[in-house]
Chains A and B, each alone.
Chain A
Amino acid sequence: MNLLERSAWLTSDVLLQAGPGSEAEQQELEASSASGDQAVDVVTRALALSNGNEAGSRLLAVSRFATAQPVGAGQPIDPALLVREELGRLDPAQRARALHFLWTAVAPSLERSGSYPLAQLLASLQQELRPPLPQMFRTSDEHNAAHVDVALKVDERGVWVQGWMHDRDNTAARLTVIAPEGGRAELLPGLFRHGRRDMEEVFGDKAGVRGHRHGFMRFADLDGPSLVSHGWLLELETASGDAMQNAVAHVVSDPVTVRERILFCLRFEHRGTDELMRMQVHPAMSRLQEGLRDVPAIETVVQFGEPPPAPSVSVIVPLYAQLSFLEYQMAHWASDPQMSGQDLMYVLDSPEQAIVLDELAHGLHSIYGIPFRLAVMKGNAGFTAVNNRAAELARADKLLLLNSDVVPDQPGWLGRMTAFYDATPDIGALGPKLLFEDDSIQHAGIYFHRPPVSPPVWDHMHYFKGQHRSLPAANMARQVPAVTGACMMVERELYERMGGLSHRYLQGGFEDSDFCLRLIDEGRENWYMPGAELYHLEDQSYPKDLRELTTRYNRWLHTRLWDERIEQLMTRYPGLGG
């Protein structure tokens, strides 16, 4: 192993070596590690570098061991020093080649946890040794210029890039975003373009811009993980080989912000198409949701009062931002004898409010004496994660997913729902009648409807929404395509078997109907019952434009997943509601 004269450990399992050598020795070195007759499992990659001014070439080699190695092999020195000395004497072209080699050889090690110091080391070496390209300028004289307004880290490799590109005469051949560690993502193929009035004014010549559109957006994958957020670059190369660069000043990695920023991009969708959604937003969102999926779990659970001995229903109530609903619900539970015997769980999804909520919960328990559990999520996890995680802790055979902004009209509603559920064979999900504060109907079951938009989507509709609560048609129990997750009863064992709510949707929308549609595929029927009446006061705290975009995303995804199934299903539920 210890072939070359100088070596340094980049990490406890990555050894960097350098010494005199030619291409022949490079191949020999790589082959020896591939032969498999080593005592330890190791992969070595090497690169022969020749500097025009000096005689002889030198070899640079990176060996990745399968396990951490005892430090002390060879004469280890500071890896940064080794790289500086080896690469510092090279001409810019060879140096760039060496840096790229270093990146590709080390990148797989960044996948492991605890690799942030390695990423920092790579980033600082890149910054120091990378030969700079000429700067791009934003003047009307330029033929080519580009700028990244913001780069959003979707996960370690995925990056959402948005900005503008001026490309007179369509000569741009390559547009690349480069991570601080050296990872690269090509943007040009599949680049989404949109109009940018501000850039039209700067560059004047509209006709010279490809498709008259300066703006661009692209979800792209780097060729290796990136962990460092400062030192990103954008490169543009023309067909004639001129290359320029520009710093990417603004990189965001907070997942909630990233999700919101990407959603806001949907406003640039080309009319009548779903190009941006399909090609960029959905792939990015899927990865983002995948990343969020298993991360936030329940951090603490506190029991208030004695746990009821034999609860028939586990009532799961997510709390987010608006904590005052807890007090309103408690004031209602206090006069509803059925509630104190149930497994009542409040789950806080905005953990920054944990201290305030804890005080409130103690106070409310001291006043009302209703036993309940209070769980706090580790981070903002969303409706799906809150319900799925809470369901794992449920003590009763039935679950009731309940929003905090739902309060019953009269006591006894839960018993009536339980009785209905037990008496109905093959039932999947059960939803009650929900009302607005003015006694008009908010929910009497969900059906699907195609609004006149292009491309076509299936929208959620609530039967008889806005009608008076006494409407005879709304006062019959019946099978419905879906019921709302604002108040949904389901058998716990079934819920778990189905894997709970889907993680693919954003922020509480459509995961309820997705779940109900999966229940139908399981051979179950979803039911609406008017015998339990509650008020659903639809919290308006989520910003309106963001809510609209979230709904648009969820609706698109839901349609993509269920289009044909809904089409069939809606023939089974003809003429109801509209």
Chain B
Amino acid sequence: MIGRQARAVWVMGKQKVLYVMHNHPAVHPGGAEAYAYELYEALRESDLIEPLLVARIGSGAAMKREPHPGAPFSAVTPDDPNQFFLYTDWERYDWFQMTSRDKGLYATHLTDFLRTHRPDVVHFQHIHSIGWDAVSHTRRVLPDVPIVFTLHEYLSICRLDGQMLRRTGELCMEASPRRCHECYPDIPPADFFLRERFIKSHTKHVDMFLAPSEFLLERYVDWGIPRERIRFEDYGRVPRARAPEAPREPGAPRNRIAFFGQLNYFKGVDVLLEAMTLLNQRGIDAHLSLHGANLELQTPEFQQEFSDLLEATKRTAHNVTMRGRYDPEDLAELMAEVDWVVVSSRWWENSPLVIQEAFLHGRPVICGDIGGMAEKVTDGVDGLHFHVGDGTSLAEVLERAVTTPGLWEELRGGARPVYGMDEHIASLTDLYTSLRERRMPSEQTLAR
């Protein structure tokens, strides 16, 4: 009886959903951040959901800011009462265990925040630099509130930056104390065992995990998340006008290629530069624009290797242009300059936003033949696959792409529709409602 009454109340009012994310896009660019913020902005227009946003900030973010003393939670802007920064310190964050050494962060400040806002649902987008304790502590403070968690990478499974790519460069499908110890010879297997146990003692409080790719879903199921507590839910995107086709002489090849993303080892920019050199050696006329940032955050070895490769292309062909960091709002303009988008990552990926962006603008995608990216791009339908991590293979695929007449038009026509934000929000709303029904408050809680 009580359940039905309670449900009636939910249906009439908006559900208050708290979103917790590991960065604020205003401070640190990144795919998961961009998506989470886009969702938040879209929900502000929603009739069904009142969103609250908590974005982690502090040391380690691009710009370090200091909190007001004793107030790790603080409002972001006077214009929006529902948006908060959460300041945490990297110095007190344990990367191995994925927890903060500052337990007062959870016990005092998170408790106060949750009690103040009393969300109906807490949806974690990320707990990086916040810690898994935030999840189980939310459960303790709000025992009846569903907890949803979107998985953006494999950090809980893989200590090595959540990439599931071994130090040898070998792709990894399975974490175990023994195998992880092989990647980290200084850390005994027992520590990896405890790490997994510790994280799982927190993950069990999550009512539903959301996996933006089937591939990621299966990895987490293999790792031990029960199948009934994880479901596929891709990133929803706000539709936008397609960028116009790149201008070109009639009959000229579709040979303008772009890379969007961070310039690091995992993204395989070195593989892409190698392929561009090979293309030039074969006399193929093609041009690559590199749109990316954060090169300065990479290891000195990688920075050196990258600049050597870039120099090599400059000496010979001038077929690569470094364009640097871009703002998401400029993307349409940048897309308008190019024909193809390359995702050269050497790791599995999950659901790369750049693939969605490319499809939104009708650009076929050339990507590696593994994991989340292969799942999102169908070889020969809306894009082309190459052997992951293999510059020669990428060069061959690029050659085929820019020299085969009609291929570009065919693949552009094959682009699948991108999952829309409205559909995504409808799906999330249903999920929240059904989880709340499942977590029907006990009579005792209602009486309180």
B229 contacts across to A, CB distance below 8 A: none
Assuming the A-B contacts A366-B104, A438-B189, are A407 and B194 also in contact, with contact meaning beta carbons closer than 8 angstroms in the complex?
yes
Whether B136 and A366, one on each chain, are in contact in the complex, defined by CB atoms closer than 8 angstroms, is no
Taking a contact as CB atoms under 8 Å apart, the answer to whether B197 and A367 are in contact is: no
| With A437-B189, A537-B190, A540-B188 as contacts: A331 and B103 at CB distance below 8 Å | no
Say if the beta carbon of A273 comes within 8 Å of chain B.
no
**Contact call A537/B194, Cβ cutoff below 8 A:** yes
Q: In chain A, residues 299-321, which have Cβ atoms closer than 8 Å to a Cβ of chain B? A: none
> Nearest chain A CB to B122's CB is how many angstroms away?
17
Determine whether A264 belongs to the interface, using a CB cutoff of 8 Å to chain B.
no
Residue B107 at the chain A interface, CB threshold 8 Å: yes
- Please indicate the chain A residues that have their CB under 8 angstroms from the CB of B106 in the complex: 366-367
Instruction: Tell me the smallest distance from the CB of B111 to a CB of chain A, in Å.
Output: 9
Task: Name the residue in B108, B188, B190 with the highest tally of chain A Cβ atoms < 10 Å from its Cβ.
Answer: B190
Within 8 A of B (CB), among A430-474: 436-438
Residues B197 and A366 in contact, CB atoms below 8 Å apart = no
B193 in contact (CB, < 8 A): yes
Interface size range on B against A? 20 to 34
What B residues does A325 contact at CB under 8 A? 194
Q: By the criterion CB–CB under 8 Å, are A331 and B198 in contact?
A: yes
In the complex, B117 has a CB within 8 A of chain A: no
Q: Does B201 make an interface contact (CB < 8 A)?
A: yes
Q: Within the complex, which residue of A367, A436, A535 is in contact with B133, where a contact is CB–CB below 8 Å? A: A367
Cβ of B23: which chain A residues have Cβ within 8 Å of it?
none
- Chain B residues lying within 8 Å of A360, measured Cβ to Cβ, are 101, 103
* Least CB distance, B423 to chain A, in whole angstroms: 37
User: A538 touches which one: B108, B133, B190 (CB < 8 A)?
Assistant: B190
In the complex, per-residue mask of B183-220: 1 if CB is within 8 Å of any chain A CB, else 0: 00000111011100110011010000000000000000
A544 to chain B, nearest CB (A): 13
B178 within 8 A of A: yes
Cβ of B137 within 8 Å of any chain A Cβ, yes or no, is yes
Task: Check if A332 is an interface residue, CB within 8 A of chain B.
Answer: yes
> With A363-B104, A366-B103 as given contacts, are A332 and B201 in contact (CB-CB < 8 Å)?
yes
Interface string of A318-343 (1 = CB under 8 A from B): 00000011011001101100000000
Chain A contributes a number of interface residues (CB within 8 A of B) equal to 24
CB neighbours (8 Å) of A407 from chain B are 194, 197
A309 to B204, CA, bound (A): 29
Which single residue of chain B is at the shortest CB-CB distance from A538? B190
Interface residues of B in 91-136 (CB under 8 A from A): 97, 99, 101-104, 106-108, 133, 136
CB distance from A525 to the nearest CB of B (A): 32
The answer for the CA separation of A364 and B188 in the assembled complex, in Å, is 24
A418 and B125 alpha carbons, distance in the complex (Å): 43
8 A Cβ contacts from A363-397 to B: 363-364, 366-367, 369
B253 at the interface (CB under 8 A from A): no
B198 touches A327 (CB 8 A): yes
Q: How far is the CA of A335 from the CA of B204 in the complex (A)?
A: 10
Is B177 in the interface zone, CB < 8 Å from A?
yes
A461 and B140 CA atoms in complex are apart in Å by: 44
Q: Is B193 a contact of A537 with CB atoms below 8 Å?
A: yes
Contacts of A437 in B (CB 8 A): 177, 189-190, 192-194
Asked whether, in the complex, the Cβ of B194 is within 8 Å of the Cβ of A328, the reply is yes
CB-contacts of B136-177 with A (<8 A): 136-137, 140, 176-177
- Chain A residues near B192 (CB, 8 Å)? 437
Assess the B198–A328 pair: CB atoms within 8 A. Answer: yes
Please, which residues of chain A bring their CB within 8 A of the CB of B204? 335
The docked-state distance in angstroms from the alpha carbon of A411 to that of B89 is: 34
Q: Chain B residues near A366 (CB, 8 Å)?
A: 103-104, 106-108
B194 with A367: CB separation less than 8 A: no
Closest to B192 in A: A437
Known: A334-B136, A335-B201, A407-B197. A363 touches B102 (CB 8 A): yes
Chain B residue nearest to A324 in the complex (CB): B97
B97/A367 in contact, CB under 8 A: no
Q: Kindly list chain B residues whose C-beta atoms are within 8 Å of the C-beta of A331.
A: 197-198, 201-202
**1/0 per residue B70-105: CB within 8 Å of A?**
000000000000000000000000000101011110
Task: Please report the C-alpha to C-alpha distance between residue A540 and residue B104 in the assembled complex, in whole angstroms.
Answer: 31
Residues of B near A369 (CB, < 8 A) are 140
Please judge, given known A-B contacts A328-B197, A366-B108, A367-B107, whether A405 and B190 are in contact too, CB under 8 Å: yes
User: Does A363 lie within 8 Å of B107, measured CB to CB?
Assistant: yes
Q: Please give me the residue from chain A that is nearest to B205 by CB atom.
A: A335
Residue of B nearest to A331 (CB): B201
Shortest beta-carbon distance from B380 to chain A in Å: 43
The minimal Cβ–Cβ distance linking A321 to chain B, given in whole angstroms, is: 14
Nearest 9 CB-CB pairings of A with B:
A363-B103, A366-B107, A437-B193, A537-B190, A331-B201, A437-B177, A328-B194, A437-B190, A331-B198
18 interchain pairs (CB within 8 A)? Answer: A324-B97, A327-B97, A327-B198, A332-B201, A334-B136, A334-B201, A363-B102, A366-B104, A366-B108, A367-B107, A407-B197, A437-B189, A437-B190, A437-B192, A437-B193, A438-B177, A537-B190, A538-B190
Given contacts A327-B198, A360-B103, A537-B190, 15 further A-B contacts (CB under 8 A): A324-B97, A331-B198, A332-B197, A334-B201, A335-B201, A363-B103, A363-B104, A366-B103, A366-B108, A367-B103, A367-B106, A367-B107, A407-B194, A438-B177, A438-B189
Please list the residues of chain A having a beta carbon within 8 angstroms of any beta carbon in chain B: 324-325, 327-328, 331-332, 334-335, 360, 362-364, 366-367, 369, 405, 407, 436-438, 535, 537-538, 540
